[in-house]
Amino acid sequence: MIEVQQLSKRFARHEAVRGISFSVDRGEIVGFLGPNGAGKTTTLRMLTGYLPPTSGSAQVAGFDIFRQSLEARKRIGYMPENVPLYEDMRVREYLKFRARLKGLNSKQTRQRVGEMLETCGLEAVRRKMIKTLSKGYRQRVGLADSLVHNPDLLILDEPTNGLDPNQIRQIRELIKRLAESHTVLVSTHILSEVEMTCNRVIIIDGGKIKAADTPTNLINQMRSAGRVHVELQADAEVASGAISRLDRVKKVSSEALDEGWTRFTVWVDSGTDARERINNLAAQYGWPLRSLYRHEATLEDVFVELTRKD
């Protein structure tokens, strides 16, 4: 559905996107992640035809987004981070207006607007002025607008921006339903949502692709996956030395707690579970133990590890 080859964008002396290449298959939900200023929005704007590239190429549904821009854009539904809406129009009126702008005839407009009102949960507010709607409903109107021409590809830039937890959950479920008939490329800072929603993740930083894989594979490959936390009532220096001598332990740090307890963080080789050996060591030395658990890595850990500057 998307094929990007060596895509770059330069603004004066600043190169926002630096020769990135990636692909998105039909029917996938792909998370496009990165810190602020990483080049995410610039990339999305190039894919949707809002910005020309400095170099490189990109195709959507087999159409070059620069040489065959109109054909490519017909197959794209784009919801920007800050959804531009005509606030003095009613919801249904606005969607009809947008559908006609996108080339639908009268019959198609009536059908698609009706479907989008139902799909996006807007039936109850279809006659309301957009300026009277909550943030959540405005996001839904923007989503309905991006879908009204039934595009093959849906590109969403921070679709849950400014929403409360209940609204975020509703948008997440809606995106999952939409993926049954659309390819979805979504950019967001809410990494837990990406873990629950996306088949694959692309992480960009400094204008370059740092990783592209399934969330599960990325988590399994990172070094933070091998981390154990243990709380012992023991001399911190002695315990740290004993733990660090265990096989496949890479690093040990300690933090003093209350009443003589110390929390130790133990980094071990990826894929290694050192809990049993640490428990046996505590028993051998007679150290009271009140907590021992393995850190379950998340996509947030992957993101931090790949994009941190230290």
Residue at which a domain ends, from 220, 248, 267: 220
Proportion of the chain above pLDDT 70, given as a percent:
97
Kindly write down the DSSP assignment for every residue of 127-143, as one continuous string.
TSBGGGS-HHHHHHHHH
Instruction: Judge if 23 and 47 occupy the same domain.
Output: yes
Question: Over pLDDT 90: what percentage of the chain?
Answer: 61
CATH, residue 193? 3.40.50.300
User: With 90 as the cut, is the pLDDT of residue 173 above it?
Assistant: no
Q: Is residue 310 part of a domain?
A: no
**Highest mean pLDDT range out of 161-170, 199-208, 262-271?**
199-208
Query: How far is it, in rounded angstroms, from Cα 203 to Cα 147?
Result: 26
pLDDT for residue 164: 81
| 8 A C-beta contact, residue 194 and residue 33 | yes
Q: Which of 220, 243, 266 is the last residue of a domain?
A: 220
Domain co-membership, 207 together with 239: no
Element (H, E) at 262: strand 262-268
How far apart CA 226 and CA 266 sit, in angstroms, is 8
What tokens were used for 195?
Answer: 């873990």
**Residues 186 and 232 placed together within one structural domain of the fold:** no
In a domain, 74, yes or no: yes
User: What value does the mean pLDDT take over residues 163-188?
Assistant: 85
Helix 106-119 vs helix 165-178: angle between axes, to the nearest 10 degrees? 130
Q: Does 239 lie in the same domain as 101?
A: no
25-34, 124-133, 136-145, 165-174: least confident range: 165-174
CA angle 196, 83, 41 (to 5 degrees): 65
- DSSP reduced 3-state for 14: strand
Are residues 267 and 132 located together in one domain of the fold?
no
Residue 300 located in a structural domain: no
What is the average per-residue pLDDT within 254-270?
89
Provide the token pair at 112: 């698609």
Q: Which sign, positive or negative, has the C-alpha torsion 145, 28, 202, 1? A: negative
Are 193 and 236 in the same domain? no
Q: Do 97 and 171 reside in the same domain of the chain?
A: yes
Instruction: Enter the DSSP assignment of 89.
Output: S
Banded pLDDT at 195 (limits 50, 70, 90): confident
Torsion angle of C-alpha atoms 159, 163, 169, 170, degrees rounded to 10: -70
Which candidate, 266, 3, 48, places its Cα nearest to that of 154?
Answer: 48
Which range is least confidently modeled, 125-139, 173-187, 226-240, 294-308? Answer: 294-308
Query: Does residue 98 lie within any of the structural domains?
Result: yes
Residue 218 has pLDDT above 90, yes or no: no
Looking at residue 112, its amino acid is R
Same domain, 69 and 168: yes
Same domain, 155 and 257: no
Q: Let me know whether 50 and 160 are in one domain.
A: yes
Q: Give the domain extent around 259.
A: 227-294
213 shares its domain with 232 = no
What is the Cα–Cα distance from 264 to 229, expressed in whole angstroms? 6
Q: Determine, yes or no, domain membership for 189.
A: yes
Residue 26 in contact with residue 8, Cβ under 8 Å? Answer: no
**SS3 state of residue 11:** strand
Long-range CB contacts (< 8 A, 24+ apart) of 302-305? Answer: 302/203, 302/211, 302/215, 302/218, 302/219, 302/222, 302/224, 303/33, 303/191, 303/203, 305/222, 305/223, 305/224
pLDDT band of 109, cuts 50, 70, 90: very high
Residues in the chain: 310
Can you name the residues that pair with 153 across neighbouring β-strands? 76, 183
- Which CATH number is 286's domain given? 3.30.70.100
Backbone angles phi, psi at 280, to 5 degrees: -65, -35
Measured CA to CA, the distance from residue 273 to residue 146 in angstroms comes to: 47
How many domains, in total, are found in the chain?
A: 2
> Which of the four pLDDT bands, split at 50, 70 and 90, describes residue 115?
very high
pLDDT band for position 225 (50/70/90)? low
